[in-house]
Amino acid sequence: MNEKQRLEQAQINPVHSADKLSEKDNIDRIKNISSDDMIAKYFQTSYQPPDLKKARKRRREEVQFHYDFQIPEDVQLIGQGKKFLIRTYGCQMNEHDTEVMAGILTEMGYESTTETSEADLILLNTCAIRENAENKVFGEIGHLKPLKLEKPDLILGVCGCMSQEESVVDRIMKKHQHIDIVFGTHNIHRLPNLVQEAMFSKAQVVEVWSKEGDIIENLPKVRKGNIKAWVNIMYGCDKFCTYCIVPMTRGKERSRRPEDIIQEVRHLAAQGYQEITLLGQNVNAYGKDFEDIDYRFGDLMDDMHKIDIPRVRFTTSHPRDFDDHLIEVLAKGGNLLDHIHLPVQSGSSEVLKRMNRKYTREDYLELVRKIRKAIPNATLTTDIIVGFPNETEEQFEETMTLVEEVGFEAAYTFIYSPREGTPAAKKQDDVPEEVKKQRLYRLNELVNKQSAASMKSYKNKTVKVLVEGESKKDPNVLAGYTEKNKLVNFKGPKSAIGKIVDVEITETKTWSLNGVMVENTVEVK
Ligand code: SAM
Ligand code: SF4
């Protein structure tokens, strides 16, 4: 889980010009705090706060597919001569949404920049998963105010998961009038219209739909790099883990049609991409919503197996829907890599029940046993939450023993963060913050130890590395990932970038490997 400022490819299109809001109008608006009337107007017309009961009554038949996305003619050139910057917080889903927004803005004539001072449009693509992620965004919103006062034509937008929360939208509208646009995760395709409205309107433009269900297929994308690509296979989540805000911010589970995914992956393969990662909050639920075909995630992976692309990954898996057919297909190997990220969240059946994960410790261990039987070399990594409300010392110890028993080689570990609107947030919690921090520390020590031990086993071995570029620390060193997602740094020719090469490991660390490239192993595709 990382946050990255995104470098996007630039592209210039010809122009259009129109009457713009005057500087004075803009400054007046920024200085005037919005009225409650205005907030009420937006909440009535376009915003409905997350409602768990309503969300659970989702109806599948409402899913509609749209293949006719177009940038409206009158906004096609609106960004000519202007620059955009998108700051992305949170998960891969957000990173990929940023690629789509960059694609849309590029088609509107905008060029990308990484310099805040150069940007004419800045979007904060936000994450709502934990409170500290939100605090960072509010900090950034505050930092942008002086820039907006200095440069009134600058358009500032907040989008992503935080925009789907009523309290966040309310706070922005009341306290941060320098933000011009707020839009949600279901409104990305509306970006051209929203930017246009912000340019010519005096009011804040807020468009957040709780209604979800549509799949917009042919949105443009500016992908980050040309070696690895994200491919969405489904949107939303219907699992309703009691701690998690995602089912509310991302809407119901809805799968893209297999033919659209296969076509996108084939196209990426033809363009020379070496690795794709299939994305969904719960990829194992893929296809459950199809009414006309019986086609699930195992079938999709089987079709991926037939495509001539060297590496296929997927994230994230929910243990509950990880079925035998999928295991059977993954065992075919080839381009289906044997690294499986399988979030467990807790090692205690009692805590898992309270989390509404719908599996027990024993179910999880049985699934791991099946995976290892079919794929003996499988590497498993996971997500774990410590300090879930009222987690006892014994329950936490059960997490520790499970981590050891499974032998996870890496884990994203989190302290539970209450999210407004989720059932767990209503629970009294008797675990002191200090105890939670201690538990996180102990868990991380164990995970680090296991990671270091797994790394040691690579000493003097040769691994296949997809070379992604130069190491951040030393431009003379190349860096890439093995099939099992281990970071490798090694000296080699720049011509190896974008290729899969053999590297002999000479030194192992806790989270990375050092090595030397085995000569003549640059695979030419
Ligand atoms: N859909 C994925 C799954 O079920 O494993 C994960 C999606 S979520 C973006 C990534 C991780 O954030 C979760 O696996 C969980 O460990 C963590 N997470 C979610 N809500 C959280 C909360 N309220 N507090 C702390 N961690 C949380
Ligand atoms: Fe959140 Fe659970 Fe859905 Fe993952 S499966 S996104 S943790 S509700």
3-state secondary structure 178-191: CCCEEECCCCHHHH
Residue nearest to atom 5 of ligand 2 (CA): 239
Of 56, 92, 185, 246, best ligand 2 pocket probe by most atoms within 8 Å of the beta carbon: 246
Q: Is the pLDDT of residue 211 over 80?
A: no
Question: What tokens were used for 517?
Answer: 């490239």
Measured CA to CA, the distance from residue 214 to residue 316 in angstroms comes to 21
Is the four-CA dihedral 71, 74, 75, 77 of positive or negative sign? positive
Q: Looking at the CA of 421, which ligand is closest?
A: 1
Q: Is the pLDDT of residue 58 over 90?
A: no
Q: What per-residue confidence (pLDDT) applies to 212?
A: 65
Is the four-CA dihedral 364, 369, 373, 378 of positive or negative sign? positive
Q: Is the pLDDT of residue 4 over 90?
A: no
Q: What per-residue confidence (pLDDT) applies to 494?
A: 92
Q: Residue 152 corresponds to which amino acid?
A: P
Distance 129 CA to ligand 1 centre (A): 7
Neighbours of 287 (CB within 10 A): 21
Split at pLDDT 50, 70, 90, the class of 53 is low
236 touches ligand 1 (CB under 6 Å): no
Q: Is the peptide bond before 316 cis (omega within 30 degrees of 0)?
A: yes
Measured CA to CA, the distance from residue 159 to residue 185 in angstroms comes to 7
Measured CA to CA, the distance from residue 512 to residue 128 in angstroms comes to 30
Q: Is the pLDDT of residue 17 over 60?
A: no
**Average pLDDT of the residues in 315-333:** 96
| Cβ partners under 8 Å of residue 450, min gap 6 | 403, 404, 407, 408, 409
pLDDT digits (tens, 9 = 90+) for 273-283: 999 999 999 99
| Cβ partners under 8 Å of residue 412, min gap 6 | 1, 382, 383, 384
pLDDT digits (tens, 9 = 90+) for 161-195: 999 898 999 999 999 999 999 999 989 999 999 99
Measured CA to CA, the distance from residue 284 to residue 237 in angstroms comes to 11
**Average pLDDT of the residues in 94-99:** 95
Q: Which of 332, 217, 331, 212 is nearest to 281 (CA)?
A: 212
pLDDT digits (tens, 9 = 90+) for 405-436: 999 999 999 999 999 989 999 999 989 999 99
Question: What tokens were used for 3?
Answer: 């946050």
Q: What per-residue confidence (pLDDT) applies to 522?
A: 59
Distance 343 CA to ligand 2 centre (A): 10
Lowest-pLDDT choice from 144-153, 187-196, 197-206, 309-318: 197-206
282 touches ligand 1 (CB under 6 Å): yes
Measured CA to CA, the distance from residue 47 to residue 42 in angstroms comes to 6
Which is it for strands 83-88 and 121-126: parallel, antiparallel or unpaired? Answer: parallel
Measured CA to CA, the distance from residue 20 to residue 395 in angstroms comes to 60
281 touches ligand 1 (CB under 6 Å): yes
Which ligand 2 atom lies nearest to the CA of residue 316? 4
Which ligand 1 atom lies nearest to the CA of residue 281? 1
**Average pLDDT of the residues in 65-85:** 93
Q: Looking at the CA of 343, which ligand is closest?
A: 1
Q: What is the overall mean pLDDT for the chain?
A: 88
Determine which helix (DSSP H) or strand (DSSP E) holds 231, and give its type and residue range.
strand 228-232
Whole-angstrom CA distances from 431 to 357, 399, 436 are 21, 16, 7
Q: What per-residue confidence (pLDDT) applies to 38?
A: 35
pLDDT digits (tens, 9 = 90+) for 364-405: 999 999 999 999 999 999 999 999 999 999 999 999 999 999
Q: Determine whether 123 is exposed, middle or buried from the number of CB atoms within 10 Å of its CB (0-12, 13-18, 19+).
A: buried
Measured CA to CA, the distance from residue 35 to residue 92 in angstroms comes to 36
CB 179 within 8 A of CB 141: yes
Whole-angstrom CA distances from 441 to 57, 234, 405, 508 are 40, 34, 19, 23
Distance 320 CA to ligand 2 centre (A): 11
Q: What per-residue confidence (pLDDT) applies to 201?
A: 83
**C-alpha neighbours within 13 Å on the C-beta side of residue 312:** 27
Measured CA to CA, the distance from residue 478 to residue 298 in angstroms comes to 35
Q: Is the pLDDT of residue 27 over 60?
A: no
Q: What per-residue confidence (pLDDT) applies to 60?
A: 54
Split at pLDDT 50, 70, 90, the class of 209 is confident
Query: SS3 helix, strand, coil % of the chain, rounded to 5?
Result: 40, 20, 40
Q: Return phi, psi of residue 378, to 5°.
A: -60, 135
Which is it for strands 410-415 and 379-386: parallel, antiparallel or unpaired? Answer: parallel
Measured CA to CA, the distance from residue 293 to residue 48 in angstroms comes to 33
CB 406 within 8 A of CB 341: no
Residue nearest to atom 20 of ligand 1 (CA): 244
256 touches ligand 1 (CB under 6 Å): no
Give the residues surrounding ligand 2 with Cβ less than 6 Å away: 237, 239-241, 244, 246-247, 281-282, 318
Q: What per-residue confidence (pLDDT) applies to 44?
A: 33
Q: What per-residue confidence (pLDDT) applies to 475?
A: 85
**Average pLDDT of the residues in 112-130:** 95
385 touches ligand 1 (CB under 6 Å): yes
Distance 469 CA to ligand 2 centre (A): 33
